[in-house]
Structure 1
Amino acid sequence: MANTAQARKRARQAVKQNAHNSSQRSTLRTAIKAIRKAIEGGDKAVATQVFQTSISTIDRIADKKIIHKNKAARHKSRMAAALKALAA
């Protein structure tokens, strides 16, 4: 348990920051699911549009260091490959 005023404040801030980061991670997962659903739908035009909006979401979350930049790149790469395979 935090004993000093400084430690109590840091504990409060940690709770608030954790809630914010959890929300951002949830947004990331939702964006990835949206891409997958659009690709499974089979319509390339819709999938491309969803891909573009989701990529900006993934980049924004990676820029805030909520996920590692390499993890963001891996997700984007896999989704781009699935989108490309949709055309073939």
Structure 2
Amino acid sequence: MNAQHTTENLTIHHKVKDYAAWRAGYDGHEKSRLAAGITNGRVFRSVEDPNDVVVLQDVADVAKARTWVGSDDLKTAMQKSGVVGSPSIRFAA
């Protein structure tokens, strides 16, 4: 791996009850993501199921991002925005 590589990726895949409601919650949580060093979020939706969502984000500090991913703040935000079940969360270089 290139020693200059400093950005990791965070992928979150989950189902939502209603994409529009989820998207409003996701957009409203931007400051929290930025505070955790999570940037450049790209949202993708399944063609077959528009409520099947994948978010790809850049991570500056994996330890900080892992703390954020496990936080009650994120769990509450996901519940409020209509995430169904448990999300699949992966970090990759």
| TM-score interval for Structure 1 and Structure 2 normalised by the shorter chain | 0.3 to 0.5
Task: Choose 1 or 2 for highest CA Rg.
Answer: 1
Higher strand content, 1 or 2: 2
Higher helix content, 1 or 2: 1
TM-score normalized by the length of structure 2 = 0.34
TM-score normalized by the length of structure 1 = 0.35
